[in-house]
Amino acid sequence: MSASTPIGELRTRLTLEAPSRAGDGGAAVTWSTVAEVWASVRPAAAGESFELDRVAGKITHEIVMRYRSGVVPEMRLRAGTRVFDIRAAFDPDARRRWIKCLAEERDL
């Protein structure tokens, strides 16, 4: 994404979510909405692995949205039933215009 990127490329509405753990020290994680954002979602790579006695598909994506502070790899993005776990989040040109997230889509 550059300064001349058409706004129309941000055509996917995503929910940015942050985890919160139960106060009793348990392993239960609930997700709370941080923001609703418009983003560009592009598949980057695909593959499969053998997990828990089954073949699981894996798709990685490049997700670009307008800059916002506080986006970290512990967060996730969601579009309906599709869940994208953020693996890395960075400002690609260090000008606070865009955030690029490298994310992995969960095999649900």
CATH: 2.40.10.270, 3.10.20.30, 3.90.1150.10, 3.40.50.2300. Which one for 9-105?
A: 2.40.10.270
Going 20 to 49 to 42 to 80, the CA torsion angle's sign is negative
* pLDDT single digits (tens) 53-99: 777 778 899 999 999 999 999 999 999 999 999 999 999 989 999 99
For the chain, give every domain's residue range. 9-105
Per DSSP, which regions of 52-90 are E strands?
54-66, 76-79, 82-90
* pLDDT single digits (tens) 26-57: 678 899 999 999 999 999 988 877 766 777 77
